[in-house]
């Protein structure tokens, strides 16, 4: 975990110096509030397994959760090449992908993302605090363009009203 944080910190530094040079990618990986926040292991409501395929697809590519829920994603790579899952707004993912294309060697270790070597699995624990549609994608150059994308639909929490029989 500590090493992860160091890597995350380093990549933030790299990202911000790049942003200064190019004027792009301002705000780094920020905007986390728009999609929720890192979840705590003790608060996990559901576990969702997502398989990543060399056909540049996620299975399932669409996940539905309720507002406030903490989800543990088990992200399995059944392919023969590296894949990743990054949660974000569509806009943010697109921006980030453009940056990845320029610096493909860049590795990430933020809490809203996981990079998984072939045949292995990783996890993301995330709490979805806002309703709406959140995207996820594989930002490895070529993969995003090939359509390696998915969505998480965050539904409003059901109000307890009178139950009709
Ligand atoms: Cu991929």
Q: Tell me: the pLDDT tens digits for 28-76?
A: 444 557 899 999 999 999 999 999 999 999 999 999 999 999 999 999 9
Closest CA to 138 of 26, 14, 51: 51
The residue whose two tokens read 């190019």 is: 22
Task: Please tell me the distance between residue 116's alpha carbon and the centre of ligand 1 in angstroms.
Answer: 9
Task: Please tell me the distance between residue 157's alpha carbon and the centre of ligand 1 in angstroms.
Answer: 32
* Pairwise CA distance, residues 33 & 15, whole Å: 19
Return the pLDDT at 28. 44
Return the pLDDT at 22. 35
Domain extent, residue 142, equals: 31-155
Task: Please tell me the distance between residue 144's alpha carbon and the centre of ligand 1 in angstroms.
Answer: 7
Q: Is residue 121 part of a domain?
A: yes
Q: How many structural domains comprise the chain?
A: 1
Domain of residue 45, CATH code: 2.60.40.420
């Amino acid at each position: 975990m500590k090493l992860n944080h160091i890597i995350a910190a380093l990549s933030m530094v790299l990202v911000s110096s790049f942003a200064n040079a190019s004027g792009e990618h301002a705000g780094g990986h920020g905007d986390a509030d728009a999609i929720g926040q890192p979840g705590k292991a003790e608060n996990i409501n559901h576990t969702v397994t997502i398989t990543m395929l060399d056909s540049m697809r996620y299975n399932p590519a669409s996940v539905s959760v309720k507002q406030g829920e903490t989800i543990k994603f088990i992200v399995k790579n059944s392919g023969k090449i590296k894949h990743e899952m990054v949660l974000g707004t569509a806009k943010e993912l697109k921006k980030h992908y453009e940056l990845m294309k320029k610096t493909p060697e860049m590795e990430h270790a933020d809490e809203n993302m996981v990079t998984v070597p072939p045949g292995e699995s990783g996890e993301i624990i995330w709490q979805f605090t806002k309703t709406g549609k959140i995207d996820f994608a594989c930002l490895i150059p070529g993969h995003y363009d090939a359509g390696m994308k998915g969505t998480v639909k965050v539904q409003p929490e059901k109000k307890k009203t009178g139950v009709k029989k």
